Chains A and B, each alone.
Chain A
Amino acid sequence: MDALEKRLLDDFQRDFPLVPEPYAEIARRLGTDEATVIATLERFREAGVISRVGAVFRPHRAGASTLAAMAVPEDRLQEVADLVSAYEAVNHNYEREHRFNLWFVVTGADDAAVRAVLDDIAGRTGLEVLDLPMIEDYHLDLGFPLQWT
């Protein structure tokens, strides 16, 4: 990556210009022209380096959700993971390296709906499901500085 490409990825993860010609404004700050900025962003998008130029939203506060964790015997992990992923209410499901090795997010209209999904999973698998609801969010998403070395 050249210096222009790195700055394009690093410097504009937030505070994108709110002016009629934002890519021309970015070009002005980077000492290049609008066509180069647009072409470079198009190339990044095609290569999958960026997903988009756009808005990142705060998590939706309406409805209920929780983080759940299970300690699944290794030889059952794929089977249990597939069972969990099949629920419409589950929208992330990851393996993590720990005795608690399956982590997923459950969402629903209210707490009772979320609880019902957790109970159903526990009942069908015969395994305990930890319910870890959020109390407070401390994070401000300001983008992510990249390290190029």
Chain B
Amino acid sequence: MDLTLLSEPDLRLIAAVQRGLPLTSRPYRDIGRRIGMDESEVIAAVRRLLELRVINRLGVVVRHHELGYTANAMVAWDIPDDQVAEVGRCMGSFEFVTLCYRRERRPPAWPYNLYCMVHGREREAVMAQVDHLARACGLDEMPRAVLFSGRRFKQRGAVYRDDPDRESAA
């Protein structure tokens, strides 16, 4: 979905709900007042943006780090090109996988072509999830690299670009 195809009211609504719904009795009405829409128009527009998948989900945005989910790993796998889409869809269907992408390989230094992000309270839990994923998607023999995160040098989500509370996207 290219955002340039959205209407001006949709863009105003996106800017308003991106910062969050107000914690008031009638949050859609209150957002509508700020951007010149009535309550039913706001609800209908949000529903449409969800259907178009411009909005991925609407709800409570939890900050995992603050809840003790301090271990996170990017797992890179080397999957045969003719299987990668199927494996990617398998991995992407697990709720504990927060990102799953196919990317270009750069052999020999970097032979991997499928990435997923796994979060946990501790390393052992993350490694157990990775093993579970490998078994469930039939990847026990597939080469992989598990890269736990260290220092966060910069984290900034550009408006519309990606969710500032999430790890990485590109």
Are A and B bound to each other?
A: yes
Q: Are A22 and B158 in contact (CB under 8 A)?
A: no
Q: Are A53 and B154 in contact (CB under 8 A)?
A: no
Q: Are B57 and A142 in contact (CB under 8 A)?
A: yes
Instruction: Tell me which of B27, B62, B63, B91 has the highest count of chain A C-beta atoms within 10 A of its own C-beta.
Output: B62
Q: Which B residue's beta carbon lies closest to that of A24?
A: B25
Which DSSP category, helix, strand, loop or mixed, fits chain A's interface?
Answer: mixed
Q: B10 contacts which chain A residues (CB < 8 A)? A: none
Give the CA-CA distance A104 to B64 in the complex, in Å.
21
Q: A59 contacts which chain B residues (CB < 8 A)? A: 161-162, 169-170
**Interface residue B20 (Cβ < 8 Å from any Cβ of A):** yes
User: A79 to nearest B CB, angstroms?
Assistant: 11
Q: Are A144 and B55 in contact (CB under 8 A)?
A: no
Q: Are A139 and B92 in contact (CB under 8 A)?
A: yes
Residues A114-139 near B (CB distance < 8 A): 128, 130-139
Which DSSP category, helix, strand, loop or mixed, fits chain B's interface?
Answer: mixed
User: B90 to nearest A CB, angstroms?
Assistant: 8
User: A58 to nearest B CB, angstroms?
Assistant: 5
Give the CA-CA distance A85 to B85 in the complex, in Å.
33
Q: B2 contacts which chain A residues (CB < 8 A)? A: 61-62
Q: B142 contacts which chain A residues (CB < 8 A)? A: none
Count chain B residues whose beta carbon lies closer than 8 angstroms to a beta carbon of A.
84
Q: Flag A33-74 by CB within 8 Å of B: 1 or 0 each.
A: 010001001101101111111111111111001110101000
Q: Are A18 and B170 in contact (CB under 8 A)?
A: no
Q: Are A20 and B119 in contact (CB under 8 A)?
A: no
**Interface residue A32 (Cβ < 8 Å from any Cβ of B):** no
Q: B74 contacts which chain A residues (CB < 8 A)? A: 96, 103
User: B95 to nearest A CB, angstroms?
Assistant: 5
Q: Are B25 and A58 in contact (CB under 8 A)?
A: no
Q: Are B161 and A91 in contact (CB under 8 A)?
A: yes
Give the CA-CA distance A9 to B69 in the complex, in Å.
14
Q: Are A96 and B61 in contact (CB under 8 A)?
A: no
Asked whether A132 and B163 contact (CB < 8 A) given A104-B154, A141-B57, the answer is no
Give the CA-CA distance A6 to B155 in the complex, in Å.
28
**Interface residue B17 (Cβ < 8 Å from any Cβ of A):** yes
Residues A58-116 near B (CB distance < 8 A): 58-62, 65-67, 69, 71, 81-82, 84-85, 90-98, 100-101, 103-107
Give the CA-CA distance A48 to B113 in the complex, in Å.
35
Q: Are A67 and B59 in contact (CB under 8 A)?
A: no
Q: B60 contacts which chain A residues (CB < 8 A)? A: 8-9, 12-13, 16, 41, 44, 50, 53
6 closest A-B pairs by beta carbon, nearest first, are A52-B20, A95-B150, A138-B88, A138-B92, A54-B20, A93-B154
A sample of 11 inter-chain contacts (CB < 8 A) reads: A9-B67, A13-B59, A54-B61, A69-B110, A91-B162, A92-B155, A93-B154, A94-B155, A135-B104, A139-B97, A139-B99
With A13-B61, A20-B29, A132-B106 given, name 6 new contacts (CB 8 A): A45-B23, A50-B61, A54-B20, A85-B154, A91-B162, A93-B155
